[in-house]
Amino acid sequence: MEGYIDEHPILKFKRGKKVTFFFEDKELEGYEGLPIAAVLHAAGIRVLSISERYNRPRGFFCAVGKCSSCLMEVDGRPNVMVCMELLKEGMKVKRQPPRGMAKDKRKKLN
């Protein structure tokens, strides 16, 4: 699958089976058991959330659950750190509006 590192001189990659999931109602494929943020990144989706104060795009930053740059809605649960949450078949992943912002006021990205 495109967007993934297949070979590395030091690291070995263990991937699950290929599954489908939904990002903003668009059906995508990814490997089960990888962090959702990594799967989105491999699919070319770089904007995971929008900053509250300046309404700026935020992407994959620390990748270890320390910065909250990747908070998204997963299967209806808000504020999921998608760099730590592992992909499962059929998951529904969405960007969430910054606190206090109505969904229809969000910037259209990607």
In single-letter form, the type of residue at position 83 comes to: C
Contact call for residue 47 and ligand FES (CB under 6 A): no
Q: Which two tokens stand for residue 78?
A: 């808000």
Whichever of 18 and 62 has its CB closer to ligand FES, that residue is 62
Q: Which of residues 82-101 bind ligand FES (CB under 6 A)?
A: 83
Strand partners, 31: 18
Closest distance between ligand FES and the C-beta of residue 81, in Å? 5
| Spatial contact of 4 and 41, defined as CB atoms under 8 Å apart | no
Return the beta strands (E) in the chain as ranges: 18-23, 26-31, 49-50, 57-58, 71-74, 77-81, 92-94
Judged by CB under 6 A, does residue 63 bind ligand FES? yes
CB of 79 to ligand FES, least distance (A): 11
Q: Which of 47, 67, 86, 101 binds ligand FES (CB under 6 A)?
A: 67
Task: Report the interface residues with ligand FES, using CB under 6 A.
Answer: 60-63, 65-70, 81, 83
